[in-house]
């Protein structure tokens, strides 16, 4: 059974893999045996990330490129295929969010979020997918969001992009399943990261909201994403295609509870 989840000898490209949830998922794949190909845009963050992976005994190689630039992505993927080897797994994780009310949001800000969170995965998948189609094998994981299903104040561009990413995932699966390529998504819930640290304190309204809204009654730990990432990257998911797995502690399963209910 362990062979179903063994990634030894596989090469996994993770965009935005220098920090946060991307790094957590990448570490899971690395500990399962994969050689990580880490994408980022900051030389300093890349240096620190590669050192962190190496310290845990994970083989990792870094490549700096902008996922929204078609020519740059094509050149980078061609280079990776020659220098590191065939890309077996792609995790489209790079993303941004801008919390701005609709009436106050400039078109440029809306467009930037769409470009990074939706157009970026399309560009990277297109260039990686070309090689996967030729080899008739591959795994692609798009990092979606609960905002692929729900709206929330001030995140219009992000929700639009993540909703689009859900449907991009399904359409990629529709076109490429016949080539033995599995395309699925992961939708993280609310996780304990450096970014959320300031609001994850007792007494903070949003902290209490998340804990009360989540059936598991806690924030997710980044390590909670590892198992799902490994599953969707491994032979265990060879007949799973076009699905979004929400790792959210049950938030999307419930309408919530009344204020007077413990």
- CB atoms under 10 Å from CB of 179, counted, come to 14
210, 190 contact by CB (below 8 A): yes
Beta strand spans in 144-243 (E): 181-188
> How far is the C-alpha of 227 from the C-alpha of 190, rounded, in Å?
17
> How far is the C-alpha of 196 from the C-alpha of 2, rounded, in Å?
35
Name the phi and psi angles at 105, rounded to 5: -90, 125
> How far is the C-alpha of 136 from the C-alpha of 36, rounded, in Å?
21
- Catalytic center residues: 158
**Six-digit token pair at 92?**
């489209």
First to last CA, the chain: 41
14, 25 contact by CB (below 8 A): yes
């Amino acid at each position: 059974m362990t062979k179903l989840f063994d990634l030894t000898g596989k090469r996994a490209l993770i965009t935005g893999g220098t920090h946060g949830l991307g790094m957590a998922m990448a570490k899971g794949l690395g500990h399962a045996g994969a050689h990580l190909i880490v994408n980022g845009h900051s030389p300093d963050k890349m240096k620190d990330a590669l050192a962190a992976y190496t310290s845990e005994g994970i083989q990792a190689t870094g490549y700096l490129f902008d996922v929204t630039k078609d020519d740059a992505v094509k050149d980078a993927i061609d280079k990776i295929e020659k220098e590191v080897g065939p890309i077996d797994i792609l995790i489209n994780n790079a993303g941004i969010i801008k919390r701005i009310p609709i009436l106050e949001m400039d078109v440029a800000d809306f467009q930037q979020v769409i470009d990074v969170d939706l157009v970026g995965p399309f560009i990277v998948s297109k260039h990686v997918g070309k090689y996967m189609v030729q080899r008739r094998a591959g795994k692609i994981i798009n990092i979606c969001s609960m905002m692929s299903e729900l709206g929330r104040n001030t995140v219009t561009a992000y929700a639009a992009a993540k909703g689009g990413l859900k449907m991009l995932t399904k359409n990629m699966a529709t076109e490429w399943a016949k080539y033995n390529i599995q395309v699925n998504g992961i939708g993280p819930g609310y996780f304990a990261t450096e970014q959320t640290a300031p609001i994850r304190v007792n007494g903070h309204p949003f902290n209490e909201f998340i804990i009360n809204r989540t059936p598991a009654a806690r924030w997710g730990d980044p390590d909670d994403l590892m198992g799902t990432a490994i599953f969707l990257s491994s032979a265990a998911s060879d007949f799973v295609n076009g699905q979004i797995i929400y790792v959210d502690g049950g938030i999307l399963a419930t309408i919530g509870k009344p204020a007077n209910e413990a």
